[in-house]
Structure 1
Amino acid sequence: MPGQRKLGRATDQRKAILKNLTTALFVSGRIETTEARAKEVKNIAEKLITLAIKEADNFTSKQVKVSAAKVDSKGKKLTDTKTSKNGKKYFVVEREQKTDMVSVDNASRLHARRLIMNWVYRPTTADGKNINITDKLFDEIAPKYKDKKGGYTRIYKLGPRRGDAAEMVILELV
Structure 2
Amino acid sequence: MPWQRKLGRPTDQRKAMLRSLVTSLIMYGRIETTEARAKEVAPIADRLIAMAVKECDNFTTKQVKISAPVLDSKGNKMTKSKKSKNDRSYEVVEREVKTEMKPVDSPSRLHARRMMISWLYRVKDKNGKNINLANKLLDEIAPRYKEQNRTSGFTRMYKIGPRRGDGANMVILELV
Q: Secondary structure at the match of 2:9?
A: coil
**Structure 1 counterpart of 2:149, which letter?**
K
CA drift of 1:89 comes to 2.4
Q: Which residue of 1 aligns with 2:163?
A: 161
Label 1:127 to 1:77 Cα distance change in 2 as closer, same or farther (>3 A). closer
Are 1:139 and 2:143 counterparts? no
CA-based RMSD of the aligned residues comes to: 1.8
Gap runs ≥5 in structure 2: none
2:52 corresponding residue in structure 1: 52
Deviations 1:122-169 (A, max 9, x none): 333334343332222111211111123121111222333233332222
SS at match of 1:164: coil
* Bigger Cα displacement from structure 2, 55-64 vs 153-162: 153-162
Q: CA deviation at 1:74?
A: 2.6
Give, in whole Å, the separation in 2 of the partners of 1:96 and 1:59.
28
Distance 1:58 1:101 in 2: 16
Amino acid at match of 1:153: T
Equivalent AA in structure 1 for residue 89 of structure 2: K
User: Which letter does structure 2 place at the counterpart of 1:106?
Assistant: S
Query: Match for residue 149 of structure 2?
Result: 148
Q: Secondary structure at the match of 2:126?
A: coil
Task: Give the Cα separation in 2 of the matches to 1:91 and 1:63.
Answer: 31
Comparing 82-91 with 19-28, which one deviates more in the overlay? 82-91
Task: Specify the code of the residue in structure 1 equivalent to 2:175.
Answer: L
2:106 pairs with 1:116: no
1:97 corresponds to: 97
- One-letter amino acid of the counterpart of residue 160, structure 2: L
Relative to structure 1, the CA distance from residue 77 to residue 28 in structure 2 (aligned partners, 3 Å threshold; closer, same or farther) is closer
Using structure 1 for the length normalisation, give the TM-score. 0.88
Q: Percent identity?
A: 64
Letter in 1 for 2:54: K
Aligned pair count? Answer: 172
TM-score, normalised with respect to structure 2: 0.88
Instruction: State how far apart, in whole Å, the 2-side matches of 1:75 and 1:156 are.
Output: 49
Q: Which runs of 5+ in 1 are unaligned?
A: none
- 1:77-119, Cα deviation, whole Å (9 max, x unpaired): 2222222223222222221111111111122212211211122
Amino acid aligned to 2:69? A
* Structure 1 stretches of at least 4 aligned residues deviating more than 4 Å after TM superposition: none
**Secondary structure at the counterpart of residue 151 of structure 1:** coil
State the distance in 2 between where 1:127 and 1:65 align: 30
Give, in whole Å, the separation in 1 of the partners of 2:125 and 2:76: 29
- What is the aligned partner in structure 2 of residue 17 from structure 1? 17
Name the stretch that deviates more: 60-69 or 8-17: 8-17
